[in-house]
């Protein structure tokens, strides 16, 4: 009778590699057991067929950063629940191989208000976390705001310069009309509720809010409720 043994130990026997290399292969999604990818080195095997992908690399898997197109009207917990493998956008051209570990210990960065939709970032990467936690105020963000009401002739100039929010004088930003009921903002250090209040000060009511871009990273054509990997992009 064949006794059960750990998958990483079986791989060492098959390849003659070190135990550490075997774990890297397995956790990197390069090892299959009877044709199914297994990412847990402690998985017990007996007579199953264990194979290593010919393109396997023993390098540690890079931490993942996922970009989600958040729908409006859902809170942070429900937003995170959308990060499932089958919700990966078909427009994702990064070539990143999805691993189970990519969906663990993700931290939400630059979150959106519940009523807002658009780009939200989740990351395991400490470098991305530090950037979006410490340097976010200096990154330009782009929003489209649905509005209703009659704008005065000076609405754009007032929105772009001269307003205050919660006692803080706001720095200049770029504002333009995208359509008769849609404003486009390119703005830094935006706070929750700020865009709605700015519109209110200009005599308009904000009825919808969507974030299109953080720094150089945008939604592109990613459908609502789906996600893609950041890949080699930089904020």
Please give the Cα distance from 5 to 43 (Å, whole number). 8
Query: Considering the domain boundaries, does residue 118 fall inside one?
Result: yes
Query: Considering the domain boundaries, does residue 58 fall inside one?
Result: no
Supply the range of the domain harboring residue 224. Answer: 65-136+217-229
Check whether residue 151 and residue 208 sit in a common domain.
Answer: yes
Q: Give the domain CATH number at 129.
A: 3.30.70
Check whether residue 74 and residue 106 sit in a common domain.
Answer: yes
- The winner for highest mean pLDDT among 7-21, 101-115, 148-162, 204-218 is 204-218
Residue 1 has pLDDT above 60, yes or no: no
**pLDDT score recorded for residue 160:** 95
More confident residue, 229 or 3: 229
Number of domains the chain is built from: 3
78-82, 141-145, 172-176: lowest mean pLDDT where?
78-82
Please give the Cα distance from 52 to 38 (Å, whole number). 11
Residue 61 has pLDDT above 80, yes or no: no
Q: Please state the φ and ψ torsions of residue 5, each to the nearest 5 degrees.
A: -140, 155
166: its two tokens: 């919660």
Query: Considering the domain boundaries, does residue 60 fall inside one?
Result: no
Task: For residues 67-81, give the mean pLDDT.
Answer: 92
Query: Considering the domain boundaries, does residue 11 fall inside one?
Result: yes
Query: Considering the domain boundaries, does residue 17 fall inside one?
Result: yes
Check whether residue 205 and residue 112 sit in a common domain.
Answer: no
**pLDDT score recorded for residue 232:** 82
Check whether residue 111 and residue 225 sit in a common domain.
Answer: yes
Please give the Cα distance from 45 to 3 (Å, whole number). 8
Check whether residue 150 and residue 202 sit in a common domain.
Answer: yes
Check whether residue 124 and residue 21 sit in a common domain.
Answer: no
Q: Residue 94: which residues within 8 A CB-CB, separation 6 or more?
A: 228, 229, 230, 231, 232
Confidence of residue 151 (pLDDT cuts 50, 70, 90): confident
Check whether residue 132 and residue 150 sit in a common domain.
Answer: no
Q: Give the domain CATH number at 29.
A: 3.10.290.10
Query: Considering the domain boundaries, does residue 59 fall inside one?
Result: no
Alpha-helix residue ranges (DSSP H) falling in 111-193:
126-134, 155-160
Check whether residue 193 and residue 100 sit in a common domain.
Answer: no
Please give the Cα distance from 11 to 51 (Å, whole number). 8
Confidence of residue 70 (pLDDT cuts 50, 70, 90): very high
Check whether residue 47 and residue 85 sit in a common domain.
Answer: no
Check whether residue 124 and residue 155 sit in a common domain.
Answer: no
């Amino acid at each position: 009778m064949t006794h059960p043994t750990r998958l990483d130990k079986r791989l060492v026997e098959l390849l003659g590699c070190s135990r550490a290399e075997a774990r890297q292969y397995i956790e990197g999604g390069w090892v299959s057991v009877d044709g199914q990818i297994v990412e847990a080195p402690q998985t017990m095997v007996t007579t199953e067929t264990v194979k290593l992908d010919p393109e396997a690399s023993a390098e540690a898997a890079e931490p993942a950063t996922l970009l989600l197109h958040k729908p409006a009207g859902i809170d942070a917990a429900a937003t995170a629940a959308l990060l499932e493998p089958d919700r990966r956008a078909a427009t994702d051209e990064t070539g990143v191989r999805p691993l189970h570990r990519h969906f663990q210990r993700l931290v939400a960065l630059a979150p959106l208000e519940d009523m807002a939709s658009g780009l939200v970032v989740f990351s395991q990467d400490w470098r991305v976390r530090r950037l979006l936690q410490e340097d976010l105020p200096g990154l330009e963000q782009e929003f489209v705001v649905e509005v209703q009401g009659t704008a005065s002739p000076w609405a754009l100039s007032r929105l772009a310069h001269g307003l205050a929010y919660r006692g803080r004088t706001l720095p200049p930003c770029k504002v333009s009309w995208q359509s008769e009921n849609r404003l486009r903002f390119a703005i830094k250090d935006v706070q929750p509720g700020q865009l709605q209040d700015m519109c209110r000060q200009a005599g308009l009511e904000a009825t919808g809010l969507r974030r299109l871009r953080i720094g150089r990273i945008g939604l592109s054509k990613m459908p609502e409720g789906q996600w893609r990997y950041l890949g080699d992009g930089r904020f």
